[in-house]
Structure 1
Amino acid sequence: MKNIILFLIGLLLIFVEVFFTNFIFSGVSVNLLLIYIVFISLYIDMNDSMILGSLLGLLGDLLAGGIIGINACLFVGTAYLIANVEKTIFKDDRKIVCLLVVLTSAIFSIINALVAAIFFVSPPLLVGFIKAVLIIPILNGGVAYIAYTLFSDRLIKLRKE
């Protein structure tokens, strides 16, 4: 039941991301689903987080119109990485969680920029680099800080269940 609720929350985040946040800024948007995958990977079982990441990534690709499977692969990799690192970090400190979001956002954005450069018309290299390494990770880190502040109690309960 817990995994179904987590999936439905992720589905809601996909709809918010696809239909709302992509239109706030031109060319730069918050990756709510990546932040969500990082959060749940810290507090649930690795296999569950990888399955949720793959399903939500695939649905996100289908709804956003991207290359099918790229986000699913990246979310599975993120869930695997975070689930392996979570035992060695203090995951109840919001600065550490936000740092994890910033680092995974940078890696995620660089890979997405490389894939976009191969399959689509890419922006100039300097603009793409600044967006991938600075703007998007900092924006995601700020949103993660606010989200973790609001939902940290629920995340800690998720670990105990």
Structure 2
Amino acid sequence: MSHLIDISIDDSALPPPTPEIEQERKVAIFDLLEDNSFKLPAREDRDVPPGPFSLTLAIRERRLVFDVTGPEGAQVAEFHLSLGPFRQVVKDYWQICESYFDAVKKLPPSQIEAIDMARRGIHNEGARILLERLDGKAEVDIDTSRRLFTLICVLHFGA
């Protein structure tokens, strides 16, 4: 399966990220570039570009934009996803992350572990929604979807 070799975030229309958000972004991009799968599906009107690909994520006109370029830098795909299906899970994810960060400072490990399990569950739900939304547009595995969901969260934070 093909993969992503570069990922960028176009946040030019968003407020500057906080240091915490910037750190989340850097970690997610690093993890994605270390291990990912990303393939464009066959279409009747075009050949399937083999990749590898570069991806720019942006929010434009209240839509999540995936801008995909091939190895030579030419755009090979662009698709827009409604943010609506992500709103609640992103909100839930940020709330549980805040609880987790607070818990790490003052709660015993057993309670931290319970909050972390809930955080992972919400994160998995976001990744599942992303997989559904990408159906027919791009083929990714669950780990890639999880990491892309993290980037959606940090993008959505400023939207």
TM over 0.5: no
Higher Cα Rg: structure 1 or 2? 2
More helix per residue: 1
Structure with the greater relative contact order (CA < 8 A, sep ≥ 6): 1 or 2?
2
Instruction: Give the alignment's TM-score, normalised by structure 1.
Output: 0.35
Instruction: Give the alignment's TM-score, normalised by structure 2.
Output: 0.36
More strand per residue: 2
